[in-house]
Structure 1
């Protein structure tokens, strides 16, 4: 296999190729369905989505406006880095109709809860409201991308059924949970030795929900967006 020259562009494209070719086989694998009480479509989708989102964000978007970083692809495609910068500054999700049309729902300022215990019913109901759909349309495009990246990178995923409620069965929706840490400065006045390690507390959570089918459609459009030479085909006129 040829090595990728630009991880931010080529790895997402390869992952999408794998997702497209493997999904039909996973949907028809009766042995796996018997073993796991359903097709492993969600597992496959999330496994391949993680590098598809994290690599371009970590190796291009995260470094915009900064000196060259230790994992920085901007020199490989400086025009792309410039266009990405222009595409995210002061843009909302609604500025990208091909993405916005995928029925996202968004909540922020949510007090931290343990997602391993499932989705609290009150939050499931709030995510089902028109207000949550409007909030998703109005969220900044950079925040939208970072919510997905953070959730995928840190395991912030809740499987939901077709009603948007936590399920132990097959997922029909996905909730991406992203934590917002406290920004208060840590002060250590221990003067007779090194300061102890400090782990910042989470201030609150952001919840971004979409159906599994629409998330798969987003991944296709995401790779097309990365590959678009002008990055304008998916933007509002």
Structure 2
């Protein structure tokens, strides 16, 4: 296949295939070389996470905005995305959640720190180290969790962290922190989600599996180039088909 017919489903699938095929061939950071695994993992995750939110959820909730609306291409998938990324329900109840994520927040006070220059504040890192940070992440609404992740990926709110979850220019990258404000118009807090690289990769796999599972009934035939009857033959053993016909 060349041009995707369902951009926010097929491009994340293709990006995840690149992740599976290429990730282990890249070098780890040793503190002296560029952290190619971290950079690749982060880069490849952008279309995986952002596209379903931007081109399905956005238009499912605002159908009048139609210039990039994938929601109409697979209504079953659009409904599933809308239900899963719930405004109130806890994210740990969704099919795409896997952890351990850690959550913390920082009040604006007199002003936000410049994370680009100063890295992750130690006070925030200490919050993220506490056992409650994992429970706080689980208890985020699915909508808030996805907003933090989407906004961080879309706007560069990402920090590379070492194995201890701290900013370090000389240590290998082992974790990420995703940072977003609580309100784009009048921000009063910074939200932080922290996760290890291996756990983030596992989350991406779960996310793509969730999308494919929710969409499979409508896109299976298109994916394998068969009509609906032939597609069912492809997944149902021939013996079962014969038994059902008898």
Q: Is the 8 A contact 1:54 1:153 kept in 2?
A: yes
Distance in 1, matches of 2:215 and 2:47, equals 23
The equivalent position to 1:94 in structure 2, one of 72, 76, 92, is: 92
For the structure 1 residues 122 and 22, does the alpha-carbon distance in structure 2 shift closer, same or farther, using more than 3 Å as the test? same
Query: Hey, what does 2:14 align to over in structure 1?
Result: 14
For the structure 1 residues 42 and 73, does the alpha-carbon distance in structure 2 shift closer, same or farther, using more than 3 Å as the test? same
Q: Is the 8 A contact 2:96 2:210 kept in 1?
A: no
The number of residue pairs the alignment matches comes to 209
State the 1:67 CA deviation: 2.2
Query: Hey, what does 2:136 align to over in structure 1?
Result: 135
TM-score (norm 2): 0.78
Q: Is the 8 A contact 2:95 2:210 kept in 1?
A: no
Task: Find the structure with the greater CA-based Rg.
Answer: 2
For the structure 1 residues 5 and 162, does the alpha-carbon distance in structure 2 shift closer, same or farther, using more than 3 Å as the test? same
Distance in 2, matches of 1:204 and 1:107, equals 10
Does residue 176 of structure 1 match 2:199?
Answer: no
Question: CA RMSD, aligned part only?
Answer: 2.2
Counting only pairs closer than 5 Å after superposition, residues 52-201 of structure 1 correspond to structure 2 as 52-69=48-65, 70-89=67-86, 90-96=88-94, 99-100=97-98, 102-111=99-108, 112-116=112-116, 117-168=118-169, 169-181=171-183, 183=185
Gaps of 5+ in 1: 184-200, 232-237
- 4+ residue segments displaced more than 4 Å: 33-36
Distance in 2, matches of 1:47 and 1:36, equals 21
State the 1:202 CA deviation: 3.2
